[in-house]
Structure 1
Amino acid sequence: MTGGAGVPVRAAGCVLWRRAPGGALEICLVHRPKYDDWSHPKGKLKAGEDPLAAAVREVQEETGHSCAPGARLPTVRYAVNGRPKEVDYWAAEATGGAFTPNNEVDRVRWLTPAAARTRLTQQHDRELLDALHGALR
């Protein structure tokens, strides 16, 4: 089912984080060459797919990292080409892996929260950093 103009595109993702040596928090951002933007790893749900399963799958596909999902973060809603989109997010700790560039994502960066806030393209992605901070307290 493709849905009509008012039916939201459903997607899911994670604010992927890890602790650097010394304990500092680092956030993983992905660069998508198709849009030339920096964002959190996310993607569309497959038919019948659970949003959390999709979020974990997208982290693996886009960053090469496995993760341990944690707190639920806010759902982000915005329009893409006039169609509503809803993205469910979770905080997720990276548990291992390595990035390999692919068609969707050509670069990843592990950044401090302040640097991630500056690098992120969309304001709603910056707001997720605040939600992560609250979830990790």
Structure 2
Amino acid sequence: MTQPPPPPPPPILAAGCVLWRPAPSGHGIEIALVHRPKWDDWSHPKGKRKHGESAEACALREVLEETGRHCELGARLPTAHYTVDGRPKEVAYWSARALSGTFTPSAEVDALLWLPPSAARPRLTHPRDRALLDTATPSP
């Protein structure tokens, strides 16, 4: 008699934000993109949830850790679903307004860019991040 296949591994839970601020010109907004040297990619700030941590608390913590900025969560955005090393991953996202703080490069994130959405979109490495930006910043 054959054994049923093992259940799939539980998903990796993470959270992040499409972080924005008013443009210094006073017209429009700028989007924060972080560069992760480990993956050599540009993405929205995000990271894994700690045991017992809510998705909202994780998103706030990850934005602070990766960008140095406190933020205020806004609208909930679609959850990203993808696979990492054969394991499902779910990333909860919010639109978030940047507040106070200063970026300091680290081994995890070595660069931060603030760009208008039209310039941020092609800089994002992953199509799922571009789709998320499109949802967070609908065309006028």
TM-score bin (small chain): over 0.9
Deviation at 1:114, TM superposition (A): 1.0
Partner of 2:55: 51
Deviation at 1:5, TM superposition (A): 4.9
Distance in 2 between residues matched to 1:23 and 1:71, nearest whole Å: 21
CA offsets 1:3-55 (integer angstroms, 9 cap, x no match): x7531100000000001122321000000000000000000000000000000
Residue type at the aligned position of 2:44: H
Matches for 1:1-137 after TM superposition, within 5 Å: 5-21=8-24, 22-134=26-138
Distance in 1 between residues matched to 2:81 and 2:27, nearest whole Å: 33
Fraction of identical pairs, as percent: 61
Deviation at 1:109, TM superposition (A): 0.2
- TM-score by length of structure 1 reads 0.93
Q: CA RMSD in A?
A: 1.5
> Unaligned 5+ residue runs, structure 2?
1-6
Greater gyration radius: 2
> Where do 4+ consecutive residues of structure 1 move more than 3 Å?
none
Q: What count of residue pairs does the alignment treat as equivalent? A: 133
